[in-house]
């Protein structure tokens, strides 16, 4: 009961909804969530995300005219699924795969486009941007898991609040950058265009990219804490999909920042073909 109270007292609005909690418990009280179950569900979503990435690359390569309309549809689908699961985490079992495949397609299109830009400029990214970003993502995941396992970093209230504030600031900056792009302007240092300027602009851009990647990585600590709380509280097994979804959201953000960082580094320090 105490662990359940802790979940209801969390900063996550989803877990404060006792009606959702009670509905989930009554729906499947025989089996409870486990760490291995969360790992399995996350693995499934990762595979689906990779398949989505392959589809995104295929579309970009063979049907480039479909990239833009599919991108808009993907954004709408992502927002719809996110808020659907946000309101009721029990829906993750039926909808998390949609998020995974849509985000995979988006990342595939973006990565392929950035690889194409590098090729046109005569730069070579060893192994390709996808491989480099994947290695960074896995390395970050393992590092954060080790820091959490050995209790070096823990999702305390102050830690969580600090990460949330930083994330909100990043979101606002990205939103302003998006609005500026609609009018043909670029956010100084933040946009990938700064990588082409070289000098201090490129270095500052890399620094900001690393900072944002660091903030994204810290969300893994919060995710691990949430998963451990869920498992210890004997939540329904169906919640494993919600935990996998939460991890997938963070990993997608980490990969996104990693691929942008690799793009910047390829231009600044990479070799020309």
Query: What's the predicted TM-score (pTM) here?
Result: 0.89
pLDDT beyond 70 at 246? yes
The length of the chain, given as a count of residues? 273
- Interatomic CA distance for residues 44 and 251, integer angstroms: 14
Select from 3, 20, 18 the least CA-distant residue to 92: 20
Select from 40, 5, 44 the least CA-distant residue to 232: 5
Helices (H), 88-198: 92-121, 129-149, 157-182
Q: Quickly state the pLDDT bin for 9 (edges 50, 70, 90).
A: very low
Q: Average pLDDT over the chain, rounded to whole? A: 86
pLDDT beyond 50 at 15? no
pLDDT beyond 90 at 222? yes
Q: What is the pLDDT of residue 88?
A: 87
pLDDT beyond 90 at 244? yes
Question: Torsion-angle region of residue 124: left (phi > 0), alpha (psi -120 to 50) or beta?
Answer: beta
Q: What is the pLDDT of residue 1?
A: 40
Q: What is the pLDDT of residue 30?
A: 65
- Is there a contact between 130 and 244 (Cβ–Cβ < 8 Å)? no
HEC string for 192-250: HHHHHCCHHHHHHHHHHHHHHHHHHHHHHHHHHHHHHHHHHCCCECCHHHHHHHHHHHH
Helix (H) or strand (E) holding 190: none
- Is there a contact between 99 and 248 (Cβ–Cβ < 8 Å)? yes
- Interatomic CA distance for residues 134 and 162, integer angstroms: 27
The average pLDDT across 149-164 equals: 97
- Of residues 25 and 69, the one with the higher pLDDT is 69
Q: What is the largest CA-CA distance in the chain?
A: 62
- Interatomic CA distance for residues 167 and 125, integer angstroms: 29
Q: Note the pLDDT tens digit of each residue in 95-104.
A: 999 999 999 9
- Of residues 201 and 206, the one with the higher pLDDT is 206
Q: Which of 22-36, 39-53, 180-194 has the highest mean pLDDT?
A: 39-53
């Amino acid at each position: 009961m105490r662990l359940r109270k802790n979940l209801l007292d969390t900063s996550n609005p989803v877990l404060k909804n006792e009606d959702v909690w009670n509905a989930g418990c009554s729906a499947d009280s025989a089996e409870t969530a486990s760490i291995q179950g969360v790992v399995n569900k996350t693995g499934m979503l990762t595979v689906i995300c990779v398949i989505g990435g392959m589809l995104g690359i295929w579309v970009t390569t063979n049907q480039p005219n479909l990239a833009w309309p599919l991108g808009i549809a993907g954004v709408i689908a992502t927002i719809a699924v996110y808020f659907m699961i946000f309101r009721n985490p029990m829906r993750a079992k039926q909808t998390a795969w949609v998020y995974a495949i849509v985000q995979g397609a988006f990342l595939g299109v973006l990565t392929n486009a950035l690889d194409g830009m590098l090729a046109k400029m005569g730069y070579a990214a060893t192994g390709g941007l996808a491989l480099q970003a994947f290695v960074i993502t896995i390395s970050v995941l393992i590092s954060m898991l080790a820091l959490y396992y050995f209790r070096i970093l823990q999702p305390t209230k102050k830690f969580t609040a600090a990460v949330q504030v930083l994330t909100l600031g990043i979101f606002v900056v990205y939103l302003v950058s998006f609005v500026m792009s609609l009018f043909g302007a670029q956010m100084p240092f933040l946009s990938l265009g700064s990588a082409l300027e070289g000098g201090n602009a490129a270095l500052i851009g890399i620094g900001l990219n690393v900072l944002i990647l660091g903030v994204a990585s810290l969300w893994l600590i919060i995710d691990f804490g949430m998963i451990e709380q869920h498992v210890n509280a004997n939540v329904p097994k169906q919640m494993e999909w919600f935990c996998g979804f939460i991890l997938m959201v963070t990993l997608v953000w980490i990969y996104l920042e990693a691929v942008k960082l690799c793009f910047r580094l390829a231009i600044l320090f990479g070799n020309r073909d």
